[in-house]
């Protein structure tokens, strides 16, 4: 278009020159000489021609430049510079859209690579997206010079220039700081005090140290800065960390261990009593020591009572003339006070006074003298118990069975002459102990899962029921008793008690101001003759009378018929279950002072057929 404009202007110039030549007339020069028209014409023509040529040349140059400029514009188009690249990825000669797509693909792995935050060997990975870091691909391509422009510098850059550029990075400052604070919190660690403890294994003991742990705090602002600086070229950062010692350090623990921890268990403390010895073992010493962390130190206390209790079995084995406490026994059917007796023994205060300094000393042998030890429960104490009369008595009967004669006799001997002081609790399980063959018990029938099964000490519940009723009619406090699940006609309904060592006990409390002595005896059964067991409670009466009418039975329910093919099966008849209700009345000076109500539901007894 610029060439066409130039040709038009040359044609106009030539037309005007021809017109001027036709209009020229002869004229005189200044001195009056007449110049001919032809001469004048010749001079004018030469001058015009020179001007025309100059204009034509200028216009020609402009045409060439303009044409090249326009051609360059169209050649550059909207492409990126021919040598352009971003982070080593070539994008020269591409449209902006092509360049963006290329960069998104080629830089994806690098730009999305997780950054590992390392603190004391612990690692947490975070993605750039989580930190708010990324690449603005459109801005990066714009920076490279893509897109149409009449700017000659831009055209020149597109056609001849370009080079490797860094991406334009984006940062969400709020997200970056928030993520940095979350990661820092994840690495936070409170201080943990160093510790010390005795570990006892059978008869051996060792002192175990637990290392302290420093508190750890990560500088979140420093982490945010390092995450931004690392992206996208680095994949690991280590933020600034502050460590703070715990209140009780490893050094504190070692000081305590050296001062008293290790010396205490360095060996047994040998206590010489005359020509006899008692050894306080390291395990016993350790068991009596309580180690406690204070504000900034490890402290310890020795439970002297516990230490004394732990060595008591060894002290009891010392051969010396020991004293005995007074007691009350039944002799010839009457309670008799057996006097107390003073004797020799090791006094607790003297023992601890000698042993305590030796616990942390290199000298592990001490001397303690045996001294006269008065009885703890004297004759006078026994006489004050006021045990003089029967305040409760009960007898139960049983059909002949050798195992009942044996087991009930063994039980009655254990119960007989048991003394219960005011406020104390009588436990039948504690009194009888484990029911084993070694103690004289034999196999007999027991209820198990609603069925009769043979077991050692079967029938012993008769002793529990008899003792419970004797205490019941003595007006003593019922602490624990468990009626059978099935009813046995030889017992008063509801007012009876089973017992099983380790799970079910029969217990009562002596809630009177007087002492109690138990009396128990058995009249054995024989073929065709039933036997009986009687238990009496000797004391001083608090109540004039304790009475309880026969229990009431109601709400009867029948059992089922069950077939049993097990080798242990024992056939049994069906009997109904029912609700038993009864009460106990306390009477004094002819007045009913208090009443206690009780109830118990019995399961029906199934009919068992052995297949």
pLDDT for the residue numbered 152:
54
Winning range, highest mean pLDDT, from 15-19, 138-142, 158-162: 138-142
Q: Do residues 375 and 339 touch, judged by C-beta distance below 8 A?
A: no
More confident residue, 124 or 109: 124
Tell whether the model's pLDDT for residue 233 goes beyond 70.
yes
Q: Place 146 in a pLDDT band, splitting at 50, 70 and 90.
A: low
Binned at pLDDT 50, 70 and 90, residue 10 comes out as: very low
Residues ≥6 apart with Cβ < 8 Å to 557: 576, 577, 578, 604
As a whole number, mean pLDDT of residues 160-189 equals: 88
Give me the numbers of helices (H) and strands (E) for the chain, helices first please: 18, 38
* 71-80, 102-111, 163-172, 211-220: least confident range: 71-80
- CATH topology assigned to domain 252-376: Ubiquitin-like (UB roll) (3.10.20)
CA 8 and chain centroid, separation:
99
Q: What backbone phi and psi angles, to 5 degrees, belong to 322?
A: -90, 155
CB neighbour list of residue 273: distance below 8 Å, 6 or more residues apart: 318, 346, 368, 369, 370
pLDDT digits (tens, 9 = 90+) for 12-50: 434 444 444 444 444 444 444 444 454 555 555 566 666
pLDDT of 160 higher than 70: no
Mean pLDDT value across residues 176-202: 95
Question: Can you say whether the dihedral through the CA atoms of 509, 513, 517, 522 is positive or negative?
Answer: negative
| Highest mean pLDDT of the ranges 84-98, 101-115, 117-131, 504-518 | 504-518
- The pLDDT value given to residue 454: 74
pLDDT of residue 549: 93
Question: How high is the pLDDT of residue 9?
Answer: 39
As a whole number, the mean pLDDT across the chain is 86
**Structural tokens at position 333:** 């059917």
Secondary element (H or E) of residue 244:
strand 241-244
What pLDDT score was predicted for residue 203? 79
pLDDT of residue 74: 44
Lowest-confidence region among 145-149, 150-154, 405-409, 496-500: 150-154
Whether 246 has a pLDDT exceeding 70, the answer reads yes
pLDDT at residue 312, rounded to an integer: 95
The highest-confidence range among 85-94, 103-112, 246-255, 556-565, by mean pLDDT, is: 246-255
Average pLDDT over residues 366-388: 95
The mean pLDDT of 216-227, rounded to a whole number, is 96
User: Is residue 302 within 8 Å of residue 289, measured between CB atoms?
Assistant: yes
C-alpha 194: how far from chain center:
20
pLDDT tens-digit series, residues 276-320: 999 999 999 999 999 999 888 899 999 999 999 999 999 999 999
**CB of 519 within 8 A of CB of 474?**
no
Which range, of 148-162, 352-366, 509-523, averages the lowest pLDDT?
Answer: 148-162
Other C-beta atoms closer than 10 Å to the C-beta of 258 total: 10
Residue 450's region, left for phi above 0, alpha for psi from -120 to 50, else beta, is: left
- When pLDDT is averaged across residues 150-167 and rounded to a whole number, the result is 60
CB atoms within 10 A of CB 384: 13
Q: Is the pLDDT confidence value at 70 over 60?
A: no
Q: pLDDT of 253-277, one tens digit each? A: 999 999 999 999 999 999 999 999 9
Indicate if the pLDDT at residue 8 is higher than 60. Answer: no
**With pLDDT > 70 as the criterion, what percentage of the chain qualifies?**
83
Give CA–CA dist 484/395, Å, rounded.
18
Report, as an integer, the average pLDDT of 556-578: 88
> Which pLDDT score is estimated for 14?
43
- When pLDDT is cut at 50, 70 and 90, the band that residue 569 belongs to is confident
Query: What residues pair up with 455 in beta bridges, in sequence order?
Result: 444
Residue 481 binned pLDDT confidence (cut-offs 50, 70, 90): very high
Q: What is the predicted pLDDT for the residue at 56?
A: 54
The pLDDT of residue 1 is 34
111 SS3 class: helix
State yes or no: pLDDT of 390 exceeds 90.
Answer: yes
pLDDT over threshold 80, residue 468: yes
Mean pLDDT within 216-221: 96
State the DSSP string of 120-184. Answer: TTEEEEE-HHHHTEEE-HHHHHHHHT-S----HHHHHHHHH---EE---EEE-HHHHHHHHHHHH
Report pLDDT for 448: 65
pLDDT digits (tens, 9 = 90+) for 502-547: 899 999 999 999 999 999 999 999 999 999 999 999 999 999 999 9
Picking from 370, 606, 362, the residue whose alpha carbon sits closest to that of residue 485 is 606
What would the pLDDT profile of 426-458 be if each residue is shown by its tens digit? 999 999 999 999 999 998 887 666 566 777 888
């Amino acid at each position: 278009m610029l060439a066409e404009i130039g040709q038009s202007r040359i044609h106009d110039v030539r037309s005007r020159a021809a017109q001027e030549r036709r209009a020229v007339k002869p004229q005189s020069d200044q001195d009056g000489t007449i110049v001919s028209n032809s001469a004048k014409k010749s001079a004018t023509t030469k001058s015009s021609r020179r001007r025309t040529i100059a204009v034509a040349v200028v216009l020609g140059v402009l045409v060439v430049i303009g044409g090249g400029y326009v051609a360059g514009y169209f050649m550059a188009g909207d492409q990126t510079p021919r040598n352009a690249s971003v982070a080593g990825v070539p994008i020269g000669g591409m449209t902006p859209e092509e360049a963006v797509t290329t960069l998104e693909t080629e830089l994806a792995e690098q730009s999305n690579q997780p950054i590992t935050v390392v603190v004391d060997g612990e690692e947490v990975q975070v993605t750039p997206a989580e930190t708010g870091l990324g690449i603005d691909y459109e801005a990066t391509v714009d920076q490279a010079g893509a897109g149409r422009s009449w700017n000659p510098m831009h055209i020149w850059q597109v056609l001849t220039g370009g080079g490797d550029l860094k991406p334009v990075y984006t940062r969400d400052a709020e997200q970056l700081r928030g993520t940095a604070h979350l990661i820092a919190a994840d690495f936070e660690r409170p201080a943990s005090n160093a510790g010390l403890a005795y570990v006892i294994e059978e008869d051996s003991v060792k002192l175990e140290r637990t290392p302290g742990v420093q508190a750890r705090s990560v500088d979140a602002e420093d982490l945010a800065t390092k995450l931004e600086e690392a992206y996208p070229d680095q994949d690991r950062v280590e933020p600034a960390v502050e460590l703070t010692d715990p209140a009780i350090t490893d050094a504190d623990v070692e000081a305590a261990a050296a001062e008293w921890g290790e010396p205490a268990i360095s060996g047994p403390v040998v206590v010489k009593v005359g020509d006899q010895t008692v050894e306080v073992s390291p395990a016993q010493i350790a068991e009596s020591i309580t180690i406690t962390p204070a504000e900034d130190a490890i402290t310890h206390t020795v439970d002297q009572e516990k230490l004394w209790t732990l060595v008591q079995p060894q002290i009891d084995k010392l051969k010396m003339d020991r004293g005995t406490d007074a007691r009350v026994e039944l002799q010839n059917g009457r309670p008799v006070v057996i006097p107390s007796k003073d004797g020799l023994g090791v006094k607790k205060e003297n023992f601890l006074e000698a042993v305590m300094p030796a616990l942390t000393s290199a000298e592990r042998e001490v001397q303690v003298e045996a001294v006269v030890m008065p009885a703890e429960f004297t004759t006078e104490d026994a006489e004050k118990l006021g045990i003089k009369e029967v305040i409760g008595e009960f007898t139960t009967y049983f059909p002949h069975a050798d195992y009942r004669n044996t087991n009930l006799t063994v039980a009655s001997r254990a119960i007989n002459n048991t003394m219960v002081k005011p406020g104390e609790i009588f436990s039948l399980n504690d009194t009888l102990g484990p029911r084993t063959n070694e103690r004289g018990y034999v196999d007999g029938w027991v209820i198990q899962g609603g069925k009769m099964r043979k077991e050692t000490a079967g029938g012993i519940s008769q002793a529990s029921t008899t003792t419970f009723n004797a205490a019941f009619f003595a007006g003593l406090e019922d602490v624990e008793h468990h009626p059978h699940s099935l009813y046995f006609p030889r017992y008063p309904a509801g007012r009876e008690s089973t017992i099983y060592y380790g799970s079910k006990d029969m217990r009562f409390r002596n809630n009177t101001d007087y002492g109690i002595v138990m009396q128990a005896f058995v009249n054995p059964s024989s073929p065709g003759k039933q036997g009986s067991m009687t238990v009496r409670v000797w004391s001083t009466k608090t109540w004039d009378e304790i009475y309880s009418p026969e229990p009431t039975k109601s709400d009867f329910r029948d059992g089922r018929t069950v077939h049993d093919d097990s080798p242990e099966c024992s056939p049994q008849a069906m009997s109904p279950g029912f609700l038993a209700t009864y009460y106990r009345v306390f009477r004094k000076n002819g007045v009913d002072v208090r009443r206690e109500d009780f109830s118990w539901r019995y399961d029906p007894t199934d009919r068992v057929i052995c297949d």
